[in-house]
Structure 1
Amino acid sequence: MAKAIIQLEPLTCPSCIRKIETALGKVTGVQTVKVLFNASKAKVEFDDAKANIEQLEEAITKLGYSVLSKKIA
């Protein structure tokens, strides 16, 4: 199990949180997702045998949001 912290562009509305959490939750292998509105960060716990951080980034960018940085914690 791996944990990723993804720094997003500044989020402008609470509905952004729901969109991102839903998209990340659909990635195979993702266990938990928490998007922090004020910090504009996504914390994701996932099975690194089924998913990788690039897939998580792709799920976010497909929604039109920018990923500023990402790291495995």
Structure 2
Amino acid sequence: MSPHDETLLKVDGMTCRSCIRHVNDALRDLDGVQDVNVWFDRGQVLVKHDAATAKVSALIDALRDAGYDSAPAA
């Protein structure tokens, strides 16, 4: 198995519970993403992903394409 990272992202723009599905789908569609956990109330998502295939920048781009601003959580 390839090395994996867990990346916590802050996600802006989640306004309703259906956003959980949209964020989940946007990230799971990427090659190398293994697991996604969305916390609507915290505005965060934890992504387990293959470090070589799904880079953090690709995760952020996928969320932006789905209509959400995001950045690594502090």
Q: Answer yes or no: same fold by TM over 0.5.
A: yes
Paired with 1:19 and 1:10, the residues of 2 have a C-alpha distance of 11
Name the structure 2 match of 1:49: 52
Distance 1:10 1:62, change over 3 A: closer
Q: Which 5+ residue runs of structure 1 have no aligned equivalent? A: none
Q: How much does 1:11 deviate?
A: 2.0
The root-mean-square deviation of aligned C-alpha atoms, in Å, is 1.1
Q: TM-score under structure 2 normalisation?
A: 0.88
Equivalence for 2:61: 58
- After the TM superposition, which parts of structure 1 deviate over 2 Å for at least 4 consecutive aligned residues? none
1:1-73 equivalence runs, <5 A = 1-67=4-70, 69-70=71-72
Take 1:45 and 1:4, find their aligned partners in 2: how far apart are those partners?
A: 7
Does the 8 A contact of 2:13 with 2:68 survive in 1? no
Does the 8 A contact of 2:32 with 2:54 survive in 1? yes
Report how many aligned residue pairs link the two structures: 70
Deviations 1:11-31 (A, max 9, x none): 210100100101100110000
Identical positions, percent: 31
C-alpha distance in structure 2 between counterparts of 1:33 and 1:52, whole Å? 14
Gaps of 5+ in 2: none
